[in-house]
Each structure stands twice: as structure tokens, then as C-alpha cells.
Structure 1
Amino acid sequence: MITQETLEGYYVTIGRLKQKYLSEKFEQDLPTFTSHTEAADWFRSLFADSFVFVEQTDAAGTGVYYLYDIIHDKTIWEARQKSLSEKGTASGLGMLLCTQRVDIYEDGSVQLAF
């Protein structure tokens, strides 16, 4: 069961900077959700302000789904956001892996990027 106390055990380190990233085991151990709202609320309770809404998008004519990011490295994420707003692009060591994408569908199903 995923809790604040067990969360650290779900991380692996990847990339040249050895950044923390949630493993596929995390996705496998997620609770079963019945709606987008239920899933998003659960993620917010676990990650607080490190779980951010990105956008709502169409799921190939079958409805909508919601894209979120889990911020794993706030310092790099803030530098990336600043670069995006000032230059329109962001590149640099660690910028790609400072967040992890979470897609949540209307029915509560969840898919993480690995």
C-alpha cells in the first residue's frame, strides 16, 4: 500500500544526475480509482504542491483525460519554468527528469510516464 511512509521505496534513480523517479511498481500498486477527481485528490494528498495540473486533452474521440506532473526536483523545475517563460525553451542537465507525467482518465485509470 502506498503511503507517505512507504513512498520512498517506490523511487529509483536515473539519469546522469541520479535523479529520483517513481518506478513501475508504484503504478502497479496504485489504488483502484473510480473517477478522475478521486485519483487527482489521492495524488494531491500524497504529493501536495508537487502534484501540478498541466492540461486537459482529448483522448482520440473517446473523452478527455488530464495531464499532471509530479515534481521530483523543485530547484531544477523552477529553473526550467523560468527558462520556458523567458526564452520559450528549456534545456539543461536534469530538466527532463525533474518531473514525471501522470495521465488520469475520466474513469479514474492512471498512466505514468517511465
Structure 2
Amino acid sequence: MIFKENLGSYFHLLNGKYKRLTRQFEADLPEFHSQDEAFHFFKQLFGEDIKLSDIDLVDGQKLYHYTLVVNRPAYETGIQDLEKQGYSTGVDFMMATHEIQIYENGRLHITF
């Protein structure tokens, strides 16, 4: 089971630099029965580092796209670049987040 106390064990450093969730994290998640239930679980784990970014309709069901920030400094620098220049260069900004997709029924997928 995933708790705040053991959350660190579900991260690894990709190429020794980029903090990434492991696939074991997704495998160890509880079964969710709704988008709301899943979101509240993630909100308890990650606090302000998870934000709703978009909602799509897929096969008649809403799909909620959340951005999980795993490297706050790189994320904020990338956002500032986007606001100033209209674009951000480099890999750091791209690797600063994971996308978590949650369907209305609680089924989910994490982009790795």
C-alpha cells in the first residue's frame, strides 16, 4: 500500500538526474471506483503538486488529465520561459512532470 511515509521508495532517478515514478507505484495503487476517489487519494499524497490540466470525452466517458509536478524548480523555470518567450527548451521542463489520466470510473494510467 502506498502512503506518504513510503512514497519516496516509488521514485527513481532516470539517467541519474530526473526524478520519475516507478511502474511499481501504478501497480501498487488501490482500485478506485470513481475519478473523485482517485483524485482525493493523489491529493493526499502529493498536495499542491497535482493539478487538473484538461478533460476529454473518450468513448462516452470523461477522462481527466492531471499534471503531477515531481521537480518544482524545473517546472517553474519552464513555466516562466513559456510566459516570457512562448516556448521552453531542454529536457528538464518536460521531465519535471508526469501526466496522470483518470476516467470517471476510476480507471487510470500514468505516463512514464
TM-score tier (shorter): over 0.9
Secondary structure of the residue that 2:29 maps to in structure 1? coil
Q: TM-score, normalised by structure 1?
A: 0.92
In the alignment, which residue of structure 1 is the partner of 2:54? Answer: 55
The letter of the residue matching 2:75 is W
How many corresponding residue pairs? 112
Could you tell me how far apart the structure 2 residues matched to 1:111 and 1:93 are?
22
1:31-70 superposed matches below 5 A: 31-59=30-58, 61-70=59-68
Over the aligned positions, Cα root-mean-square deviation in angstroms equals 1.2
Mapped pair 1:23 → 2:22: yes
Identity of aligned residues (%): 29
Gaps of 5+ in 2: none
Could you tell me how far apart the structure 2 residues matched to 1:43 and 1:110 are?
12
Could you tell me how far apart the structure 1 residues matched to 2:26 and 2:62 are?
21
* CA distances 1:21-65 after superposition (whole Å, capped 9, x unpaired): 100000000011110001001100100001111111121x33220
Q: TM-score, normalised by structure 2?
A: 0.93
Gaps of 5+ in 1: none
More helix by share: 2
Could you tell me how far apart the structure 2 residues matched to 1:84 and 1:105 are?
29
